[in-house]
């Protein structure tokens, strides 16, 4: 570990930032407070202000740490190179699920991770509307309040549910391929990877598949699911690395569920 981190203190900073800068904007955004970074990719004033505040607060907690926010990378993509330095890096997604947030639709979260050399050392995911925080520290388990988390035991195939984005090897949508395989029950995408990892860690779902591995979307979730007893990594079975942003990732509650999802998606 880079240094001893008080996970509860970081959780309180995230909670306070969401209460002050994100929730008051929900369903109250003006048109001038929403813009496109690129076609179909929205950012709001809440994203900007929350990232700025978390950057200020987290930057002082770990000596020599860098802070990498999704919106700062949108302004300067070369900042992704920070993940390959020897310095610890905080990674922030201030509003994960901005499309939902901008529409005034529930389905967004705040994601923070602390990483070094591509590995995730601690991670936090917060659901502001549900007021649910989950966090994990490497080798110390995943937690929500005082409760240590454990992923759900594998249910019968018809009860297995989760989220899936992107396309299977066959070319059809991964979600469609999984449902039509008959090997799982249902796929429901929330539009927020943070909420999907949170649901998996809390035992509400059994898998989450994503077509890209952008670090602000997945670093915290990969660690949280692993520390809750699940399996999480790149879809090809290799260990997750924050320095690789464009490889499919899969998290699952069990090895069996992992193998089912992987097999369906990889089928020609």
Kindly report, residue by residue over 8-17, the tens digit of the pLDDT.
Answer: 999 999 999 9
**Mean per-residue pLDDT for 194-204?**
97
Is the pLDDT assigned to residue 201 strictly greater than 60?
A: yes
Query: What is the pLDDT confidence band of residue 3, given thresholds at 50, 70 and 90?
Result: low
pLDDT digits (tens, 9 = 90+) for 56-85: 999 989 989 999 999 999 999 999 999 999
Helix (H) or strand (E) holding 121: strand 119-127
Is the pLDDT assigned to residue 2 strictly greater than 70?
A: no
Reference 119, options 195, 33, 222; nearest CA is: 222
DSSP 110: E
Q: What are the structural domains, with CATH classification, of the chain?
A: 7-148 (3.30.540.10), 157-266 (3.40.190.80)
pLDDT score at 40: 87
């Amino acid at each position: 570990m880079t240094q001893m981190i008080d996970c509860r203190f970081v959780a309180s900073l995230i909670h306070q930032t969401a209460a002050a800068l994100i929730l008051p904007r929900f369903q109250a955004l003006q048109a001038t407070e929403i813009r496109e970074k690129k076609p179909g990719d929205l950012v709001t004033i809440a994203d900007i202000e929350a990232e700025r505040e978390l950057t200020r607060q987290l930057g002082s907690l770990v000596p020599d740490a860098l802070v990498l926010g999704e919106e700062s990378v949108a302004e300067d993509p070369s900042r992704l190179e920070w993940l390959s330095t020897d310095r610890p890096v905080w990674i922030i997604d201030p509003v994960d699920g901005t499309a939902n947030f901008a529409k005034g639709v529930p389905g967004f979260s705040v994601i923070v991770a602390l990483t070094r050399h591509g590995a995730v050392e601690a991670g936090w995911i917060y659901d502001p509307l549900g007021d649910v925080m989950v966090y994990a520290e490497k080798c110390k388990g995943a937690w929500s309040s005082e409760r240590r988390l454990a992923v759900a035991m594998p249910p019968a195939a018809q009860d297995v549910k989760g989220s899936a984005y992107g396309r299977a090897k066959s070319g059809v949508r991964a979600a469609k391929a999984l449902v039509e395989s008959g090997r799982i029950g249902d796929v429901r995408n929330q539009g927020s990877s943070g909420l999907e990892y949170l649901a998996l860690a809390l035992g509400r779902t059994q898998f989450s598949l994503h077509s890209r591995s952008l670090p602000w979307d997945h670093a915290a979730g990969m660690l949280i699911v692993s520390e809750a007893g699940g399996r999480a990594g790149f879809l090809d079975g290799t260990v997750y690395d924050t320095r690789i942003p464009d490889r499919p990732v899969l998290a699952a509650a069990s090895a069996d569920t992992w193998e089912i999802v992987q097999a369906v998606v990889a089928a020609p």
